[in-house]
Amino acid sequence: MDFISQELDDYVCAHSENEPQLLYDLNRYTHLNVLLPRMLSGHFQGRLLSMLSHMIQPKNVLEIGTYTGYSALCFAEGLAENGQITTIDKNEELEDFVNEYVAKSKFKNQIKCVIGNAIELIPEMDEQFDLVFIDADKSNYINYYNMVIDKLSTGGYIIVDNVLWSGKVLEPVDPNDLDTKVLVDLNNIVHEDSRVQEVLLPVRDGLLVIRKK
């Protein structure tokens, strides 16, 4: 779904910071070689994630859904000194690809890539995070929110991708469409949750930015 015209979108990208060369290469290489390249955050959203990370200066980031590592590399740009990112993906076929690009980055020692099912791994994590990016299987978004909220420091942030789901959140929900149902429910749950402040940004497919009070 396009929220603004192609011309305006081009203008927005042209007047936002260029992608760093490594991310430009990763974006291009993903599009040429990996299935479902639309999953990658891309130039504009990536610059926003980098900007948010610079503003937050997180010490400990959790990312759920690495894919080819693009968003992890964006968040890495804003890490506090000695900050760390743990990024989880269940797709082991992407492991070598991600490791190759992370190894080329100056943040290589700050990014820990974990292969596995986030639903099983997160409960075992005994860490506090100050930034969590939820960007994996939509049907588990409410589970991820509930799992990470207690691991989030006060004043920490959760960013959730795809919360507008191509505009489907406005349509009557097909009972067989679990992903849309979960996204609609999550947006309502977060809006009613007195523990957090939230703002839904109509960026790309919708980014919900949540701050724990």
Ligand X SMILES: C[S@@+](CC[C@H](N)C(=O)[O-])C[C@H]1O[C@@H](n2cnc3c(N)ncnc32)[C@H](O)[C@@H]1O
C-beta of 176: minimal distance to ligand X in Å? 19
Nearer to ligand X, 67 or 157 (CB): 67
Nearer to ligand X, 136 or 148 (CB): 136
Which one of residues 9, 95, 137, 205 is an interface residue with ligand X (CB under 6 A)?
137
Helices 178-192 & 141-149, crossing angle to 10 degrees? 30
In whole angstroms, give the CA distance from residue 12 to residue 143.
34
Nearer to ligand X, 7 or 74 (CB): 74
Site membership for ligand X, residue 65 (CB under 6 A): yes
In whole angstroms, give the CA distance from residue 121 to residue 88.
9
# binding residues, ligand X (CB under 6 A): 17
Site membership for ligand X, residue 91 (CB under 6 A): yes
Site membership for ligand X, residue 60 (CB under 6 A): no
Site membership for ligand X, residue 119 (CB under 6 A): yes
Nearer to ligand X, 154 or 166 (CB): 166
Nearer to ligand X, 90 or 168 (CB): 90
Site membership for ligand X, residue 190 (CB under 6 A): no
Site membership for ligand X, residue 13 (CB under 6 A): no
Length of the chain counted residue by residue? 213
Q: Are 158 and 199 in contact (CB under 8 A)?
A: no
Which one of residues 105, 135, 145, 159 is an interface residue with ligand X (CB under 6 A)?
135
In whole angstroms, give the CA distance from residue 72 to residue 102.
9
Under rule CB under 6 A, which residues in 28-47 are in contact with ligand X? 39-41
Q: Which stretch binds ligand X (CB under 6 A): 50-58, 111-119, 188-196, 200-208?
A: 111-119
Site membership for ligand X, residue 168 (CB under 6 A): no
Nearer to ligand X, 7 or 96 (CB): 96
Residues contributing to the site for ligand X (CB under 6 A): 39-41, 65, 67, 70-71, 88-91, 117-119, 135-137
